[in-house]
């Protein structure tokens, strides 16, 4: 059922019960009155899935903006909050995807799965930063001929260093 928040004007499909709270401002959600909806009947059930033509604006003006709970500032900020939320969500998804591909979890979360070091040879994200301790160790062990000198990454997939 189409539910709405009286405080910030958020509208989405939800359960018509007391547990439904706005995902933006945590206020209680209320069902959108039937007169604004295109009724769609299916067997015994009536589904109120859609706003009728031009009804959404009318609904906002008549129902949301006249509510005592209405918060104009929150209403104006809501699209921005929603956009930011979905960006954060996408960053998290990208980070998870990168981690599945072998990327360092800490770096993946920090960068939102973007601009991660990638093996130039095989394209794997499963690369390891070669720390200075390891570099010193390889200088000590292999002398000046170590291939690891001046390289900062090693691919855990194909072994390439760069
Ligand atoms: Zn709300
Ligand atoms: Zn590689």
Ligand nearest to the CA of 122: 2
Residue 45 has pLDDT above 70, yes or no: no
Report pLDDT for 47: 66
**pLDDT one-digit tens code per residue, 85-125:** 999 999 999 999 999 999 999 999 999 999 999 999 999 99
Query: Ion ligand 1 — residues with CB under 5 Å?
Result: 5, 7-8, 10, 22, 24-25, 27
Ligand nearest to the CA of 156: 2
CA distances from 4 to 1, 35, 70, 90 (A): 10, 14, 12, 25
Report pLDDT for 54: 87
Residue 146 has pLDDT above 60, yes or no: no
Query: What mean pLDDT is predicted for residues 12-40?
Result: 88
pLDDT band at 15 (very low <50, low <70, confident <90, very high): confident
pLDDT band at 64 (very low <50, low <70, confident <90, very high): very high
- What does the chain look like in DSSP terms, one character per residue? -EEEETTT--EEE--SSTT-B-TTT-PBEEEPPGGGEEEEEETTEEEEEEEPTTHHHHHIIIIITTSTT--HHHHHHHHHHHHHHHHHHHHHHHHHHHHHTT--HHHHHHHTT-S----TTT--S-EEE--HHHHHHHHHHHGGG-TTTT--EEETTT--B-
Ligand nearest to the CA of 118: 2
CA distances from 134 to 60, 94, 131, 146 (A): 62, 30, 5, 11
């Amino acid at each position: 059922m189409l539910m709405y928040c009286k405080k910030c004007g958020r509208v989405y499909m939800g359960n018509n019960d007391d547990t439904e709270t706005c995902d933006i401002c945590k206020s209680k959600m209320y069902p959108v009155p039937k007169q604004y909806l295109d009724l769609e009947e299916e067997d015994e059930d009536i589904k109120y899935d859609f706003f009728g033509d031009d009804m959404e604006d009318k609904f906002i003006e008549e129902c949301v903006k006249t509510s005592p709970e209405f918060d104009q500032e929150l209403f104006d900020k809501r699209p921005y909050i929603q956009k930011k939320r979905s960006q954060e969500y996408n960053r998290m998804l990208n980070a998870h995807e990168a981690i599945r591909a072998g990327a360092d979890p800490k770096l993946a979360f920090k960068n939102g799965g973007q601009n991660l070091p990638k093996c130039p040879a095989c394209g794997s994200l499963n690369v390891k930063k070669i720390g200075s301790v390891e570099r010193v160790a390889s200088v000590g062990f292999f002398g000046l001929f170590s291939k690891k000198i001046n390289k900062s990454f090693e691919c855990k997939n194909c072994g390439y260093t760069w």
